[in-house]
Structure 1
């Protein structure tokens, strides 16, 4: 029987039909295809550091390979890595976790997916401030929950207020998704803002998913407070999802983690045991080296990000039709394109086709009047891209 006939009459599950494809990956794939054809594309679409993984991390993985660390491991992760993550969370975040509170996952994305499947039931509502990372609402849908989107604006620095959250809570609300520093906006909630939101969650008996994957990428003295450290009560109701991809330029290694109450970690481990099983064994030894050795590599990358950030922010705010708040973390700009009168998809499509600049439509993040640009690329590309973007704007305004 050939594939064409086999496909006739096939009915896909409703859960798949409800999920939108990742617009970020679609734009990035188109930009890469253009590059493969020899077209000079300035790509600001992917949230991926352009640095090589630090040498000591690579060497640790090589050593693990030579030592035969190539077999199945525990579904929850290598014990030494789980312990290293717990110690990091105690030391850097003031979160009193032990190794039993940690699940090592295939990237930060799987930690969130596992959490949703372990916690959300049909009918449960999950509060998600917008702009949001593209996968949050889709993961809620796959868990048969209902995403409740709370919009923010450039005028309020793309931050949700405690009162907004309070008003959105219903008897069905189970979880609040909280991401700081933010993808896509780069905004960082101050410690006082974090404490105020934590208080609302505690008073309303909400669980908190704290996505902290950009926590080390901060500028101008911005401070990161893990929401679980806001109070003992918040600690009891929070789950940290994070990973090594952004801080250590380890995107392709696929090592992340979930940290939370032991019963939840066990439930998420059970799900992982029947889906992916353990994370690549020798990659976990690279992650151990990332946490147990010098953090100078992080500071070197951060210095480069800071220079790129200054240049891109100044360039964007000097252009007609754009308004871009200053991001205090991560490596993204999220300017408003409202004055251009175009939808974000039309804007990004025209910009890529006419001037070979790849950006991501804000519609993917729940904000159709904005676009996202990643400055996790070299300064020369940023300079050329900003010149092309300005030329595009002059042509449409």
Structure 2
């Protein structure tokens, strides 16, 4: 079995991060002392470095006080949702989108309402579509940039158009999941929500270090929020868990200080398998025109033509995924992301494994 379903890349941890972690361990051993325990909000140096990173990306008003270091992006998401939502609050999200949001919103007490975007126009979210979907009761809008699973990236002009709509809803919060911001193959860097003009009073960005900075397994995430919300999240972390270990935070600090170089190296590493996967998908029978995703290390492939006729969409999608597994390749069922008949395929694997998986896919598609 070859897995193209994993959300984790096959990246070696950056050398600068490893050296930073080793230094902490050497110092503790040499001095015979325990590791330092971080404040609940995170190490001041890492929070400041993240603020500076956002400032360099155009979010000039971001301060370290708004940055909270979390035990992975998922725990940061849950903390924010738990602070923002009351039982029954409406959360709006376009699909396809990351499957994890569905359960996180439910566990935080929210009611998730989705609306579909179309592959035919590269998952464009127009102001008109957003305006039709929003209601005065909507508490939170969730967007992903770059999007998991589609790889769609919202350009600055698209953000501006969408924010002109959300400005008409004064009680609305906007959460942008930007954990893949460093994995981008477009002509311009990914625009962060925080770089857009206007009030940030109700804008939140969630990110982390596992995807764009190759720190898979180190358990470090971060969020940027208005100060009052950031403090509430830090207080929640203090009351309900432990701070992220200093070892991981200092590795994240070193990676942040070399973020551009690390991101460029990851994209260069991904280039060959990205082309390998796109070419193989284009060669399948009846392949639709594929718009190469600008971000992430996924392709969200349209396999609706391979579904068993007569089955309901979700059942047909699950059946297709089982057939692929029987042939030797594991994929993410697009139904879990709101798009049955599509499959999420990761190309953050080595070329030999990807080739083996592609042979299996071709067998099912024949």
Query: Taking structure 1 as the reference length, what is the TM-score of the superposition?
Result: 0.85
1:384 corresponds to which of 332, 335, 356:
356
SS at match of 2:112: strand
1:212-251 matches, cutoff 5 A: 212-233=178-199, 235-251=200-216
- CA RMSD, Structure 1 to Structure 2 (Å): 1.6
SS at match of 1:165: helix
| 2:85 is aligned with 1:88 | no
| 2:306 is aligned with 1:334 | no
Q: Within 2, Cα distance between the matches of 1:284 and 1:327?
A: 31
**1:182 equivalent in structure 2:** 147
Residue 113 of structure 1 deviates from its aligned partner by 0.9
1:291 corresponds to which of 235, 244, 256:
256
Unpaired runs of 5+ in structure 1? 1-40
Residues paired across the two proteins, number = 352
Q: Structure 1 residues 389 and 243, CA, compared in 2 at 3 Å: closer, same or farther?
A: same
Q: Within 2, Cα distance between the matches of 1:172 and 1:220?
A: 36
Which string of whole-angstrom CA distances, capped at 9 and with x for unpartnered residues, describes residues 293-319 of structure 1? 374232121112122212211210210
1:358-369 matches, cutoff 5 A: 358-369=330-341
Unpaired runs of 5+ in structure 2? 29-33, 309-315
Residue range with higher mean Cα deviation, 250-259 or 273-282: 273-282
**2:277 equivalent in structure 1:** 312
| 2:356 is aligned with 1:349 | no
SS at match of 2:187: coil
Which string of whole-angstrom CA distances, capped at 9 and with x for unpartnered residues, describes residues 71-116 of structure 1? 4221111111111111111112424211111110011111111110
| 2:9 is aligned with 1:49 | yes
SS at match of 1:392: helix
Residue range with higher mean Cα deviation, 359-368 or 266-275: 266-275
Residue 174 of structure 1 deviates from its aligned partner by 1.1
Does structure 1 retain, via aligned residues, the 8 Å contact 2:149–2:299? yes
Residue 52 of structure 1 deviates from its aligned partner by 1.0
2:122 corresponds to which of 138, 157, 176:
157
Q: Within 2, Cα distance between the matches of 1:179 and 1:95?
A: 21
Q: Structure 1 residues 372 and 341, CA, compared in 2 at 3 Å: closer, same or farther?
A: same
Does structure 1 retain, via aligned residues, the 8 Å contact 2:151–2:294? yes
Q: Within 1, Cα distance between the matches of 2:164 and 2:102?
A: 24
1:123 corresponds to which of 66, 83, 88:
88
